[in-house]
Amino acid sequence: MTVNDLVIAPAPGTPPCAPPAFDPDTGWTVTRHADVRAVLADASCQVPVAPDGAPGTLAWLRGSVSRFSAPHRHPTRRAAGVAVLAALDPDGLRAAAARLTGDALDRAGDRLDVMATLARRVPLSVLAARLGLADPDAAVPAVTAVAAAYHPGADAARVAVADRAVAALVAMTPPGPPEEVANRVGLLVQACDATAGLIGAATRHGLPLPSTVPTGDLLAEVLRLDPPVRGTRRVAVAPVRLAGRDLAPGDEVLLRFDAANRDPAAHADPDRFAPGRPGVALTFGAGPRGCPGERHALALAAGVVQVLRHRCRTVPAPVTHEPHALLRVATKIEVENR
């Protein structure tokens, strides 16, 4: 089998590409590539805004970062995050991630669980150090705890743990205006699960591939076919006409990146794994709310995955994933030295 003969089936729960569909209990589901892009670019479809909270808590963090901000606050908060990211060299991030990965493999012996040892720990350690946190190693479990409760619907116990973790992260972060501190912490939290999911999927699908396949092309195709972020939500704040459907103010909209990335209208032979193919996955979003840290996340993932491809092979085993509606993060992927 050659690389271009490899087919990756959709993950369980991935809907087919179809016109926007409405359910009275859950709202609209949007699955086609062009429709998803249209919603992401439409100012009448907004990110659900997080309410403010007491300083130093999870609610305060969610209410202060650009990701969950109202339109009138978003540009300033996004600019703060972009300014922080501009000072981070992706090549430096990649090299640091590769170094830490190599060190972990040297300590591990014959076998290592990528998800437990590398997928979160390496990117977060590197990023926390570059963001100036006083104790990057201690930041890793704190960020992981916050990420576990970051999305709506977390239970009270996880929120309580996350509140303590947010306070610890704020204490580690260089002092500054509260929104600047929050958005610096937010960069870490938003990198946590998404980057871990990408590293896990790239390890699973990419280690058997020949070394002639560039790691950047591998990551791009993994983002399309097995994305760590499967979708995102919007709310219509004004009437919207989408692909012949009328969305009313207040309608909830779920954008499915995993389906749109397999839309045959955007990607020929969409289930075929073809690193280097034209076109871009929607996994990092698009429009004014597109992820500003895309290059940095890809650099961190590439640093880890490139070393694994050079030194390891996967240990055959069934792969399970953490329970989450819109994130896809493997629970365990073991590798062994060649």
What letters, b where the CB count within 10 A reaches 16 and e where it falls short, cover 284-304? Answer: bbeeebebbbeebbbbbbbbb
Give the domains, in start order, of the chain with CATH numbers.
3-337 (1.10.630.10)
Q: In this predicted model, what pLDDT tens digit does every residue of 139-163 receive, in sequence order?
A: 999 999 999 999 888 899 999 999 9
The predicted structure's pLDDT at residue 248: 96
Beta strand residue intervals within the chain, DSSP E: 21-23, 27-30, 45-46, 111-113, 231-236, 240-242, 245-247, 252-256, 312-314, 334-337
* Burial classification of residue 146, based on how many CB atoms lie within 10 Å of its CB (0-12 exposed, 13-18 middle, 19 or more buried): buried
The position carrying tokens 């926390």 is 128
Rounded to the nearest 5 degrees, what angle is found at the Cα of 266, between the Cα atoms of 265 and 269? 75
Do residues 255 and 264 lie in contact, with contact meaning Cβ atoms separated by under 8 Å? no
Tell me the pLDDT of the chain averaged across its residues.
Answer: 95
Q: Could you give the CA distance from residue 315 to residue 105 in angstroms, rounded to a whole number? A: 15
Q: Could you give the CA distance from residue 10 to residue 225 in angstroms, rounded to a whole number? A: 7
Q: Could you give the CA distance from residue 163 to residue 170 in angstroms, rounded to a whole number? A: 11
Q: In this predicted model, what pLDDT tens digit does every residue of 211-235 receive, in sequence order?
A: 999 999 999 999 999 999 999 999 9
Q: In this predicted model, what pLDDT tens digit does every residue of 28-57 receive, in sequence order?
A: 999 999 999 999 999 999 999 999 999 999
Helix axes 136-149, 156-172, angle to 10 degrees: 150
pTM of the predicted model, to two decimals?
0.96
